[in-house]
Structure 1
Amino acid sequence: MSTLRFGVFEVMGPQVGGTYSWAHPLSAGERYADPDHWIRFARATEEAGFDFLFFAGGYGYPIIDGDLSEIAALRGINFGGMDPDYLIPLLAHATTHLGFVVTMPTGIDHPVQLARRFTTLDHLTGGRVGWNIVTGASQNAVADVFGHAEMVSHDTRYAMAAEFVELAVRMWETSWNDDALVMDRATGVFALPDRIHPLDFAGEHYASRGYFSAPPSPQRTPVLFQAGTSPTGRAFAAGNSECVFVQATTPERTAAAVADIRRRAEEAGRDGAALRLMAGMTVFVAETSERARELAAEFDALQTDEIVASLYAGNTGIDLLALDPDRTLHQVLDQGGPVGQMGTSNIERFLGDDAPTVREILDQLRGLGTRGFRVVGDGAEVADQIEALAAATGLDGFLIEPAFDAYDIEAFGRLVTPVLRARGRIAHGTPGETLRARMSGVPGAARLGGSHPVLSAVSA
Structure 2
Amino acid sequence: MAKQIRLNAFEMTSAMLNSHGLWKHPDNVRTRRYKDLDYYTELAQLLERGKFDAVFFADVIGIYDVYKASRDPAIREGVQVPLNDPAFAIPIMAQATKHLSFALTVSTTYDHPYAHARRMSTLDHLTKGRLAWNVVTSYLPSAARNFGHDEMMKHDDRYELADEFLEVAYKLWEASWEDGAIVNDVRRNLFADPSKVHEINHVGKFFRVPGPHLSEPSPQRTPVIYQAGSSPKGRDFAAKHAECLFVGGPTPEATRSSIQDIKNRAERYGRDPEEIKAFTFLNVVVAETEEEAELKFAEYSRLWSGEAAKAQYGGSSGYDLSRYTDLDAIFEYKHTEHGQSRAASLTKDAPKKLTVREVLGSFDRLSRKFAIVGDPRQVADGIQSYFEATGVDGFNLAHFVTPGSLVDFVELVVPELQRRGIYKTDYEEGTFREKLFGPGKRYLPDHHPGAKVRTFPV
Which bin holds the TM-score, normalised by the shorter protein?
Answer: over 0.9
Contact 1:48 1:409 in 2 (8 A): no
Equivalence for 2:85: 83
Partner of 2:373: helix, strand, or coil? strand
Q: Work out whether 1:395 is the aligned partner of 2:392.
A: yes
Instruction: Give distance in 2, aligned partners of 1:380 and 1:188.
Output: 64
Deviations 1:193-240 (A, max 9, x none): 111111111111112113112100101111100122222111101100
Equivalence for 2:210: 209
Q: Work out whether 1:433 is the aligned partner of 2:435.
A: no
Q: Out of 343-352 and 31-40, give the one that drifted further.
A: 343-352
| CA deviation after TM superposition for structure 1 residue 428, in Å | 4.2
C-alpha root-mean-square deviation of aligned residues, in Å?
2.1
Instruction: Give distance in 2, aligned partners of 1:177 and 1:184.
Output: 16
Contact 1:97 1:429 in 2 (8 A): no
- The equivalences for 1:305-454 within 5 A come to 305-323=306-324, 324-330=326-332, 333=334, 339-352=335-348, 354-366=352-364, 373-430=370-427, 433-440=430-437, 442-454=438-450
Give the number of equivalent residue pairs.
Answer: 451
What amino acid is aligned across from residue 437 of structure 1 in structure 2?
E
Deviations 1:247-274 (A, max 9, x none): 3532222122112111111121111122
Contact 1:18 1:311 in 2 (8 A): no
Contact 1:61 1:68 in 2 (8 A): no
- The equivalences for 1:279-294 within 5 A come to 279-294=280-295
Instruction: Give distance in 2, aligned partners of 1:289 and 1:307.
Output: 29
What amino acid is aligned across from residue 348 of structure 1 in structure 2?
A
What amino acid is aligned across from residue 442 of structure 2 in structure 1?
A
Deviations 1:369-411 (A, max 9, x none): 9x98421111121111111001111111000001101111111
Q: Work out whether 1:142 is the aligned partner of 2:143.
A: yes
Partner of 2:103: helix, strand, or coil? strand
Instruction: Give distance in 2, aligned partners of 1:186 and 1:3.
Output: 51
- The equivalences for 1:15-30 within 5 A come to 15-17=16-18, 19-29=20-30, 30=32
Partner of 1:453: helix, strand, or coil? coil
Structure 1 residues 134 and 417, CA gap change in structure 2 (3 angstroms): same
| CA deviation after TM superposition for structure 1 residue 431, in Å | 7.5
**TM-score, normalization: structure 2?**
0.94
- The equivalences for 1:164-183 within 5 A come to 164-183=165-184
| CA deviation after TM superposition for structure 1 residue 364, in Å | 3.1
Equivalence for 1:239: 240
**TM-score, normalization: structure 1?**
0.93
Partner of 1:63: helix, strand, or coil? coil
Q: Identity rate of aligned residues, in percent?
A: 37
Contact 2:170 2:450 in 1 (8 A): yes
Instruction: Give distance in 2, aligned partners of 1:423 and 1:185.
Output: 56
What amino acid is aligned across from residue 26 of structure 2 in structure 1?
P
Q: Work out whether 1:97 is the aligned partner of 2:99.
A: yes
What amino acid is aligned across from residue 3 of structure 1 in structure 2?
Q
Contact 2:182 2:191 in 1 (8 A): yes
Structure 1 residues 354 and 196, CA gap change in structure 2 (3 angstroms): same
Structure 1 residues 6 and 286, CA gap change in structure 2 (3 angstroms): same
| CA deviation after TM superposition for structure 1 residue 422, in Å | 2.1
Instruction: Give distance in 2, aligned partners of 1:354 and 1:65.
Output: 24
Instruction: Give distance in 1, aligned partners of 2:328 and 2:262.
Output: 34
Contact 1:55 1:102 in 2 (8 A): yes
What amino acid is aligned across from residue 277 of structure 2 in structure 1?
R
- The equivalences for 1:39-188 within 5 A come to 39-64=41-66, 67-138=69-140, 140-188=141-189
Consecutive unaligned residues of structure 2, counting only runs of 5 or more, are none
Equivalence for 1:261: 262
Equivalence for 1:11: 12
Instruction: Give distance in 2, aligned partners of 1:181 and 1:90.
Output: 27
| CA deviation after TM superposition for structure 1 residue 328, in Å | 2.3
Deviations 1:138-163 (A, max 9, x none): 2x111112120221000000000011
Instruction: Give distance in 2, aligned partners of 1:33 and 1:286.
Output: 29
Instruction: Give distance in 1, aligned partners of 2:249 and 2:412.
Output: 24
Contact 2:289 2:374 in 1 (8 A): yes
What amino acid is aligned across from residue 290 of structure 2 in structure 1?
S
Deviations 1:394-445 (A, max 9, x none): 11100000110111111111111111122222224548521111122x0232
Partner of 2:384: helix, strand, or coil? helix
Structure 1 residues 185 and 415, CA gap change in structure 2 (3 angstroms): farther
Structure 1 residues 179 and 361, CA gap change in structure 2 (3 angstroms): same
Partner of 1:257: helix, strand, or coil? helix
Contact 1:49 1:429 in 2 (8 A): yes
Instruction: Give distance in 2, aligned partners of 1:193 and 1:459.
Output: 16
Structure 1 residues 123 and 233, CA gap change in structure 2 (3 angstroms): same
